[in-house]
Chain A
Amino acid sequence: MRFFAAFRIAFRALLRNKMRAVLTMLGVIFGVGAVITTVSLGDGARVMVQQQIATMGENVMLIFAGDFRRGGVSFGSGSSSALTMEDVEAIRREVQGVRNVSPEVSTSRQIIAGGMNTSTSITGASPEYFAIRSWTLKDGAFFTDQDVTTAAKVAVIGATASKNLFEGGDAVGQVVRVSMGGSSGGGSIPFTIIGELNAKGASAGSFRDYDDCLIIPYTTAMKRLLNTTSLRGINLQTETMEVMPMVGTQLTNLLRQTHRISGGRPDDFTIRSQDELATAMSSTQETMQYLLGGVAIVSLLVGGIGIMNIMLVSVTERTREIGIRMALGARPRDVLLQFLIEAVTLSCTGGVLGIGLGMLASKILTQVKNWPTLTSPEAIMYSFAFSVIVGIFFGFYPARKAAQLDPIDALRYE
């Protein structure tokens, strides 16, 4: 009851000086607004990266031919022909904690069906590839080990490629012709579509459309399409997330052994796990977020100092009122509470308005700049709590000053 009364008194005191209250709150409004906006941007980016990583599949590790880090020069994936099917077999045989392994070769080709043609990415893989990359079927079936053995001319088509070629019609059972490329002097090979994949959906800001693809048995791709024996990479799925480092070590040892790399010489392959990719992608954003967060906190502090300043003025102005209240039986603690609540009300109202402003700014950034943002309840809670703390911290000194006034002097104050 008394607490409620103190709130009412504080509110009324603030309403008496609306303009001043609003100006005082501005610091906190912008501070909290900045915090909410930066955190929303950061969270949005983080969630986007997570979505992209999740699109890739679960507990995925990738092995690329070539060592990206050698001498600081990037050779790009598959620049050396170090990985072969023998490596895949060796991994199947010897590495523990691996659930699925698939070789991967890839190219980009023109594909034709009826009167339509489109350029798409063609991936050669084993049937396990679908499980590793968590592809699901919309229609038809995946190709089988039998298809791999016979290098069958069958294909599973991605949603985007299917749409480009068949414009929403049934893809399964249709025949697409894959052009042989320049070096083979033209010509094309017919593939029968045996399955159509569900769309993964291109996430915002994604580098590529994963659904624009044609997946065929790797044997077919290597023998009939690319005429090569080397792989672009190897896809692995580990049994759990926890075994990933252990699997990584095993892979390094095994591949160094099979590739006969001795002592100090660098690897001729690169192993990347999903979370490494995620870390690399989010580290830049994190740095940026810390910077902006720092700016936001500084502006909150400035807002707090503004509150302290105004509260000190208010205490001086209302010395007589304090004297009256004390004469009528207000304890020092009552006066302290009254002014503290006033400061906290200022900072909280500022905080709430700031949260609104930050959410609005985030929405605008998403709409205008197409930046992914996400305002989490935690961010709102924390910034509200922070504005309460700012109010208490910067309101305490003026409130204590008011509480320590001598009632006789305060009553006599003109």
Chain B
Amino acid sequence: MPTGRRTRSAALLDAANPKHFVSQSTNSTAGEPVIRLKDVHKTYFTGELDVKAVQGVTIDIHKGEFVALMGASGSGKSTMMNILGCLDRVTKGDYLLDGIDVSELDRDELADIRNEKIGFVFQGFNLLARTSALENVELPMLYSRHKTYDDREEKATKALELVGLGNRLDHTPNRLSGGQQQRVAIARALVNDPALILADEPTGNLDSKTSIEIMGVFQKLNEQGITIVMVTHELDIAQYTKRNIVMRDGRVVTDKLVTNRLMAEEELQKLKVASEAIQMIPS
């Protein structure tokens, strides 16, 4: 059954964009960016007032980058997030994801792109309740059209082990802490071998120590060559990434490499030392 569907759907992708096959050979070379935005606009037509959320953004993000997309609320970073995540389409401009022009794709094709190319990590974790960690991680593989997974459980287990949850495979979200839930979400984002992990305020619901731990997980993954784009408004969290892009009023105002990059492992060590020091102070 999957063969027929796979070829049909693949043909659809090819028809929509001839570069689809080209991307197979080019995405491994550093030359072709994972994300290429060219003069991207997004306008919401809400009756009388047109809201210009994004007004001409041009960015290239290459393989292996770790980018923080920053900005105050209303800066257009959430809209950028939706566009990057193929949840929304651009009004004007081009968006090439892993060599595929996604601005022309329909709902079904966007769903396939999200499934194959993007791993999502949300602020509110967004795990399925009353469903085990393992099954949550298996979910993206269930919806895969171009690949069939005979070893879903094995792959999901590996992904969970990678984020340090190998011993909590059958725990449901309500039995996991916030940090653990976010690790499950990261494992779920990883499991389909996406071109890009897209994280929307991944530390927004976590305390500072857990936030650093989660950033540590991201840094570890990034070291293995995984491209990560993260939306955040926390400056200190952005310091753990390699590149910061700041938006204001729908435009990019700053795009710079991080100079004093924080490493999660060191910071956690410092915290540990600090808390031990506090304990040693005689009361």
Interface residues of A (CB under 8 A from B): 1-3, 5, 12, 16, 320-321, 323-334, 407-408, 411
Q: In the complex, how many angstroms separate the beta carbon of A317 from the nearest chain B beta carbon?
A: 11
Contact A324 B108 (CB under 8 A): no
B114 contacts which of A5, A329, A334 (Cβ < 8 Å)?
A329
- Determine the chain A residues whose CB is within 8 A of the CB of B71 once the complex forms: none
**CA A91 to CA B111, docked complex, whole Å:** 84
B87 contacts which of A3, A333, A408 (Cβ < 8 Å)?
A408
**CA A16 to CA B115, docked complex, whole Å:** 27
- For the complex of A and B, the 3 pairs showing the least CB-CB separation, nearest first, are A329-B115, A329-B143, A331-B111
- Determine the chain A residues whose CB is within 8 A of the CB of B129 once the complex forms: 321
- Determine the chain B residues whose CB is within 8 A of the CB of A328 once the complex forms: 114-115, 120, 139-140, 143, 188
A sample of 30 cross-chain residue pairs with beta-carbon separation below 8 angstroms, ordered by A number, consists of A1-B1, A1-B2, A2-B1, A2-B2, A3-B1, A12-B131, A16-B130, A320-B126, A321-B128, A323-B126, A324-B126, A324-B128, A324-B139, A325-B139, A325-B143, A326-B111, A327-B126, A328-B114, A328-B115, A328-B120, A328-B140, A329-B115, A331-B108, A331-B112, A332-B108, A334-B111, A334-B143, A408-B82, A411-B87, A411-B122
- Assuming A327-B114, A332-B108, A408-B88, what are 17 further A-B pairs, CB within 8 angstroms? A1-B1, A2-B1, A12-B131, A16-B130, A320-B126, A321-B128, A324-B139, A327-B120, A328-B114, A328-B140, A328-B188, A329-B115, A329-B192, A331-B108, A333-B108, A407-B87, A408-B82
**CA A333 to CA B143, docked complex, whole Å:** 11
**CA A82 to CA B148, docked complex, whole Å:** 87
Q: Is the interface of A mostly helix, strand, loop or mixed?
A: helix
Closest to B144 in A: A329
- Determine the chain B residues whose CB is within 8 A of the CB of A333 once the complex forms: 108
B140 contacts which of A3, A321, A329 (Cβ < 8 Å)?
A329
Closest to A332 in B: B107
Closest to B9 in A: A331
Which residues of B (129-167) have their CB < 8 Å from a CB of A?
129-131, 139-140, 142-144, 148
- Check if B179 is an interface residue, CB within 8 A of chain A: no
- Determine the chain B residues whose CB is within 8 A of the CB of A332 once the complex forms: 107-108, 111
- Check if B202 is an interface residue, CB within 8 A of chain A: no
Closest to B143 in A: A329
A-B interface pairs (CB < 8 A), number = 63
Interface residues of B (CB under 8 A from A): 1-2, 82, 85, 87-88, 107-108, 111-112, 114-116, 120, 122, 126-131, 139-140, 142-144, 148, 188, 192
Q: Most A CB atoms within 10 A — which of B116, B140, B148?
A: B140
Q: In the complex, how many angstroms separate the beta carbon of B107 from the nearest chain A beta carbon?
A: 6
- Given the known interface contacts A1-B2, A320-B126, A407-B87, the answer about A329 and B116 at a Cβ–Cβ threshold of 8 Å is yes
**CA A325 to CA B188, docked complex, whole Å:** 12
Q: In the complex, how many angstroms separate the beta carbon of B95 from the nearest chain A beta carbon?
A: 16
**CA A357 to CA B114, docked complex, whole Å:** 47
- Determine the chain B residues whose CB is within 8 A of the CB of A2 once the complex forms: 1-2, 142
Closest to B113 in A: A329
- Determine the chain B residues whose CB is within 8 A of the CB of A16 once the complex forms: 130
**CA A325 to CA B120, docked complex, whole Å:** 11
A327 contacts which of B87, B108, B131 (Cβ < 8 Å)?
B87
Q: In the complex, how many angstroms separate the beta carbon of B204 from the nearest chain A beta carbon?
A: 14
Closest to A410 in B: B87
**CA A374 to CA B166, docked complex, whole Å:** 58
Q: In the complex, how many angstroms separate the beta carbon of B122 from the nearest chain A beta carbon?
A: 7
